[in-house]
Amino acid sequence: MGTLDSYFAAMRRSFPVNYSELRKLAQNRRWIPQEETAMAYSFDKVKLLRQVYGPQADERNIVSESLEGLDPSFRAIVQVPRTSMMVDSLREELGDQEPTWRDVHGIRIGDPPRPTSTTAWPRSDSQGYGATNTVVAVAVPDANKPPSRERPRNRPLPEDFDPIRLGRGIEPKSGKEMMSYRIPDTTRIMWCQRPCRVCGGDHFDFAHNHLTTTPRFSQSDGRRLL
């Protein structure tokens, strides 16, 4: 009886892997936030990439390709140290940032996918006639029907940060006092559930520069705010 390694080698010879198809499958695997967590996406994406590149693949490449499959607005807030581009570091960051991203964009697992218009680019038919543009129509919501929820934001929080929207209060679920932020263009309020990654302070990452360089004082009694 042969060794386990020789057994697997024989299996690979008998059932060769189509690496071209496997590579396409790995490259096309993207995060679907309405169906899965970012962590679940990461495990599946990394598994596919390791099957393509082998168990000794460079982790930096695995992390880079995993990031490419994220929603651009989520990828913008995910920060993995260049000196430690490891899969474990990426997953830790995904777990930290996903709740905030979902609060900002109003996207929950089980929500319907976002409707997008699809355009077929011009091409010539087999007989050489002129090409035409084909546009696939997308259903337009009834203007008289109230929306089930607000439209998701398409810009990261630091881009339109407004200090006047900062505040403090009691977070309903935990009953703890913490910093809050009224998200622009929405009626939603997000809560600071973890310390600032820059200094460890009790504030949002995107508010760090404002709060550490521009002290704010109450006009009534001169007390420092936030």
Per-residue pLDDT of the chain (226 residues; tens, 9 = 90+): 467 777 766 766 766 667 788 889 999 999 999 999 999 999 999 999 998 888 788 999 999 999 999 999 999 889 888 777 899 999 999 999 999 899 888 899 998 877 654 444 444 444 443 444 444 444 455 555 454 455 555 667 777 888 888 888 888 888 888 899 888 888 888 888 888 888 888 888 888 888 887 655 444 444 444 4
pLDDT of residue 65: 94
Cα dihedral sign, 170-176-179-185: negative
Q: Considering 34, 69, 103, which residue would you say is the last residue of a domain?
A: 103
| pTM confidence score | 0.53
Q: Which residue has the tokens 């090409």?
A: 131
Residue 37 domain-assigned? yes
- Does 97 lie in the same domain as 170? no
Looking at residue 189, what is its pLDDT? 86
- Is 90 a domain residue? yes
32 falls within a domain: yes
> 25 in a domain, yes or no?
yes
Beta strands in the chain (DSSP E): 118-120, 134-136, 166-170, 177-182, 189-191, 216-217, 224-225
| 41, 73, 103 - which closes a domain | 103
Identify whether 24 is part of a domain.
Answer: yes
Secondary structure letter of residue 191 according to DSSP: E
Q: Is residue 10 part of a domain?
A: no
* Domain stops at, among 37, 72, 103: 103
Task: Tell whether 99 and 159 lie within a shared domain.
Answer: no
At residue 30, the pLDDT reads 95
For residue 225, being part of any structural domain is answered with: yes
94: number of Cβ within 10 Å: 23
Task: Output the pLDDT for position 48.
Answer: 92
Residues linked to residue 136 through DSSP beta bridges, in sequence order: 118
Parent domain of 171: 155-226
What's residue 43's pLDDT?
96
CB 135 within 8 A of CB 117: yes
Number of domains present in the structure of the chain: 2
